[in-house]
Amino acid sequence: FWSLVAEFCCGFFVILILGNFWFLAVLYLLWLYLDWETPCTGGRRSQWVRSWTVWKYFREYFPIHLVKTSDLSPNHNYLLGFHPHGVLVAGAFGNFCTGPSFKNLFPGLTPYLHIMPIWFGCPFFREYIMSAGMVSASKDSVSYVLNNQGGGHASVIVVGGAEESLNAHPGSLTLNILKRKGFIKMALKHGAHLVPVFSFGENELFKQVANPKGSWLRNVQEKLQKIMGFALPLFHARGVFQYSFGLIPYRQPIHTVVGSPIPVKQNLNPTAEEIEQLHALYLQNLRNLFEEHKRNYGIPEHKSLIFE
């Protein structure tokens, strides 16, 4: 979906260049040059855009719910690890970029959803995603958010990244997280409290062409992901007037459960051992969060998270 919107924005920009409005394209390129660092310095959110009525229908379509398990004091900064990536990342967008749910449940906190920097190079599309509260997933961007001395900021990072979207099959509980420790180091360097977030139903929105590890399709997808920076899962769901095939996601409820914070003491130069210890604690808390709530959202008792 986001790729289609980005392509539309790029196409519109090309039309400006080729048409009689090339001067507008030149002005925008100048603006792009001057504004290039904004996605790494907190972005430029618009409450008007975040409150569009279309997002209300978007959330109600699945529907999308945000579930609170613990208070998050606005006196601290937080790093929220979002799992799993899924294909659409609908729970992250619906809960942290639209509507009043987060603000009502966690007053005093401002969420920033970090996404791949490549999206902010797309003309016009970058303005749209920044207005929704999205910022770059670069180290500088995360540091900018977590450096707020007064607290009240929450970085939301989809830890599994694009690679994890290739595991987004219905019923899949595999998370790409064992080698992902950069977010742990960032939390330590800034003293940001870690909060595991699990979005039940995220992997149920689309069916994906079988791509087991070692298959030719998976090998091609992984190579393309390394080259382009984002994955290309081959997925399908339903159509507008029929349920057998299309690109519209299935109507499956999404419950994004925000766990309890893990207190983190600031350490500007954490050792590998300290990072490893906090990473292990985070994994345990994430697993506990999943086990505590899985029965509420239709996960069989014998199923558990798989960390890769």
The answer on 233 and 93 residing in a single domain is: yes
User: Domain limits at 23?
Assistant: 1-35
pLDDT tens digits, 97-110: 999 999 999 999 99
Query: 15 and 124 share a domain?
Result: no
- Do 30 and 44 share a domain, yes or no? no
My answer on whether 109 and 136 are in the same domain is yes
Assess whether 127 and 179 both reside in one domain: yes
Indicate whether 65 and 7 sit together in one domain.
Answer: no
Instruction: Single out the residue of 165, 14, 7 nearest to residue 92, CA to CA.
Output: 165
Q: Are residues 29 and 49 in the same domain?
A: no
**In a shared domain, residues 85 and 232:** yes
The beta strands (E) that lie in 127-272 are given as 134-136, 153-158, 174-175, 193-200, 207-208, 235-236, 254-258
pTM tops 0.85, yes or no:
yes
Whether residues 10 and 131 fall in one domain: no
| Tally of domains within the chain | 2
- Split at pLDDT 50, 70, 90, the class of 6 is low
**17 plus 156 within the same structural domain:** no
Quick: pLDDT tens for 51-74: 999 999 999 999 999 999 999 999
Let me know whether 270 and 154 are in one domain.
Answer: yes
Looking at the structure, tell me whether residues 26 and 140 fall in a common domain. Answer: no
- Quick: pLDDT tens for 265-305: 999 999 999 999 999 999 999 999 999 999 999 999 999 99
Tokens 């900021």 belong to 153
